[in-house]
Structure 1
Amino acid sequence: MLLECPDPRFQDGTFVMLIDGGSAEESEFADQSTGRIPLADYLATRKLTHIDVMANTHIHEDHISGLLPAAQAFPPAVLWMIPTAAFCCNEMQKLDVSLAQNTSQRKFMQAINDCQTLCRLVEDHGGRVETPVAGSARHLCNGLRYQVLAPVTERVEELEERLRQIFAAPKDVFLKTLDSVDCRMNNFSLMMLLDYCGTRILLPGDTNRVGYGGIDPAMLKADLFKVGHHGQIDGADQALIDRVQPRAVACCASSDRRYNSAHPDLLHMLKESGAELFFSDCPQLPGLDIPPHQALIFTIGENGSLTAQYL
């Protein structure tokens, strides 16, 4: 997700924030029929000159790995990362990806390796690595404010301990330990509420419906909701949708609907709530006719207007 906000205090008069980067694997972009392109290629089309804040919501390959080429082209001034910079740079260990016995294990090991590489790259270029935790909030630029809803500090510490268990695991239980952390990673996601001149945007990373515990329900109300976990059936339920009350929903589903992304039952619930549905890809589902596109662009006005277009 690329945010561009006008503010004369920043380079070229624009504050630029990048949240997650998609995959870096060529196979993810082999099908040209949807129009999808790698993040680095898209950034080139925008003629960007800088990134002020780069955020990775969690350590999965389809969220972190595409950030590496973006950071190489535009080293960010600040990187938001879960877990902490000290852990990423000093305790993360490179894993031997050849040990993987399936695609999920290979991708997760690659994500862990890329996490360390990304943090060191940013610091080597003079940037800062920060760990936002629940409760932190501030203005990012003119009109744009953020508040972190998750994770709390204790969850950050728990994630670091689980990663240590991977690095310390004996060979005979290494893959089992890896899988255990992998399946829990989504609910360690950085969850943010952005507010631009009164228009609220809820960005939960891959948090699923059970990962909202402890969050003030009033904080979840949003005009634009990026539904969690790629719109899989556990991404939201009716109770969560009722709390969010979105005007528009963005679903970031892969074209081939791996793992049943853009689940029809969840999409039906969202549509029945009155929200308008948009997709960052072109899932092949009955009743959907989404034009091939490189990006889904939302424009938010100071008066609360919210419009969307497929580029």
Structure 2
Amino acid sequence: MEQMRLTFVNVGYGEAMVLECPDPSRQNGVFVMVIDGGGNDPAEFADCASGRVPMAEYLSGRGLDHIDVMVCTHIHEDHLSGLLPLLEHWTPGELWQTLPADFFRRMRPLEIPDDANLSRRKFLQALNDYQTLCALVETRGGVIRAVAAPLDGVLCSGLSGRVLAPSASQAEELAVLLDGVYAAEDAEFWSRLDRLDARMNNFSLVLRLDFRGTGVLLPGDTNCLGYGDIPAEALQADLFKVGHHGQRDGVSAQQLRAIAPRAVVCCASSDRRYNSADPGVLTMAAEGGARLYFSDCPPVPGAAEPLPPHHALEFTIGPGGVVEGRYLPL
């Protein structure tokens, strides 16, 4: 039986995934989905001792020849901005995101002041990069697709996907909030920008995949407060990528019980920036019976040995709950 491959690329503090699923109807017999691209700040990759690598560089080294679907889970620099360099090499057949397909035309380039704090600079950059990404995809012939819950369907042979969040009303709320940011001036602009930045994680696209009976749950940066409208029975998955980089609010004990994962991936940086890879969250997942994996190399509670430096974490996923992970060495 053929297997699907899901790879978490080591982009430091950020998230970047590539899914490859056998399907004879697709180019070269493989369906390819890229889910987020990490950041695009060179400083993130200045220290590559743990194996950090930009998404575009990693995919080029893998010899990737096409992208069927590119997914932008939400507008934050550490998820979105690394998708832009991919457009220099590949044009996706579809770009999945949660706003109206033509929303980028209502946006304008925003100035990034030199004296803006880091959080504001990164969010402004993400907004500008989102507009550029959508414009480039459309110009080059790709289709921009707005996705919201409830939406499910077959992605390719043996693989189905279900969008669990945001709902259509949440997507509409995000569009209204963004319109408000672009319409505001002076102090009101910064106030609205900061409020939206603080809320953006829980507008993340939450995607559940099923490959021949093996479930994968990818919640973007959704934290434990963002699961409210998702039925508990829809969360069960064999492989779970914990939300918000494994920070303390990434998932609750009740949610972990509903997911009941056999493997948990945490996309935290090796320096545990912003208190990612929270020891309490990791311990809770391990005590629930899940094996822990990491896209980068943060310290792991109770581990006898440090994680090996690696460019990526690769899973082979087969039918009936088969999930096998391995770190790809430098």
TM-score (norm 2): 0.92
Q: Which residue is equivalent to 2:226?
A: 211
Q: Please point out which of 163, 166, 189 is paired with 2:178.
A: 163
1:305 is the counterpart of 2:322: yes
Residue 313 of structure 2 is matched in structure 1 by 296
* 1:286–1:201 distance in 2 versus 1, CA, 3 Å: closer
* Equivalent residue, structure 1, for 2:20: 4
Residue number among 45, 59, 62 corresponding to 2:78 in the alignment: 62
Aligned-residue Cα RMSD (Å) equals: 1.1
* Aligned twin of 2:97: 81
The change in CA–CA distance for 1:244 and 1:153 in structure 2 (over 3 A counts) is same
- CA distance, structure 2, for counterparts of residue 285 and residue 302 of structure 1: 29
CA change 1:100–1:117 in 2 (3 A) is farther
Please, which of 221, 243, 247 is the counterpart of residue 228 of structure 1? 243
Equivalent pair of 2:223/2:251 in contact (CA under 8 Å): yes
- 1:5-44 equivalent positions in 2, closer than 5 A: 5-44=21-60
Alignment of 1:193-272 (within 5 A): 193-272=208-287
Once residues 122 and 66 of structure 2 are traced to their aligned partners in structure 1, the CA distance between those partners, rounded to angstroms, is 28
Query: Contact between 1:100 and 1:175, CA under 8 Å: does it hold in 2?
Result: no
Check the 8 A contact 1:231/1:263 in 2, yes or no: yes
When residues 304 and 266 of structure 1 are mapped into structure 2, their CA distance, relative to the original with a 3 A threshold, is closer
Structure 2 SS opposite 1:34:
coil
Which letter maps to 1:149? Answer: L
Q: Which amino acid aligns with 1:248?
A: A
Match of 2:124 in 1: 109
Per the alignment, residue 145 of structure 1 pairs with 160
In 1, distance between residues paired with 2:205 and 2:320? 28
CA contact (8 A) 1:199 1:223 kept: yes
Query: Residue type of the partner of 1:178?
Result: L
**Separation in 1, partners of 2:321, 2:24:** 21
Distance apart, 1:82 and its partner CA? 2.0
- Contact kept, 8 Å, 2:283 with 2:301, in 1: the verdict is no
Determine the C-alpha separation between the residues in 2 that align with 1:111 and 1:198.
Answer: 36
Shift of 1:77: 0.5
Contact 2:161–2:209 (CA under 8 A) maintained in structure 1:
yes
Matches within 5 A, 1:85-104: 85-88=101-104, 90-98=105-113, 101-104=116-119
Match for 1:4: what amino acid? E
Q: In the alignment, is the contact (CA less than 8 A) between 1:187 and 1:207 conserved in 2?
A: yes
Distance in 1, matches of 2:43 and 2:192, equals: 27
For residues 7-34 of structure 1, the C-alpha deviation after alignment (integer angstroms, 9 at most, x for no partner) is 1111111100000000000011111110
2:245 is paired with a residue of what secondary structure?
helix
State the AA in 1 paired with 2:175. E
Aligned residues: 310
Specify which of 269, 272, 279 is matched with residue 294 of structure 2: 279
Residue 304 of structure 1, CA deviation = 3.3
Contact 2:215 2:321 in 1 (8 A): no
2:191 matches 1:176: yes
Distance, in Å, in 2 between the alignment partners of 1:99 and 1:176 is: 18
C-alpha displacement of 1:172: 2.3
Task: Measure the CA separation in 2 of the matches of 1:65 and 1:142.
Answer: 30
- After TM superposition, the structure 1 stretch with the greater mean CA deviation from structure 2, 141-150 or 161-170, is 161-170
**Aligned residues with identical type, % of pairs:** 54
Task: Kindly state the Cα deviation for residue 71 of structure 1 after the two structures are TM-superposed.
Answer: 2.2
The normalised TM-score by structure 1 is 0.98
What secondary structure, in the 3-state scheme, does the structure 2 residue paired with 1:27 have?
A: helix
| Structure 1 unaligned spans of 5+ | none
Indicate conservation of the 8 Å contact 1:271/1:277, yes or no. Answer: yes
- Give every structure 1 segment of 4 or more consecutive aligned residues whose post-TM-superposition deviation is greater than 4 Å: none
- Give distance in 2, aligned partners of 1:296 and 1:100: 37
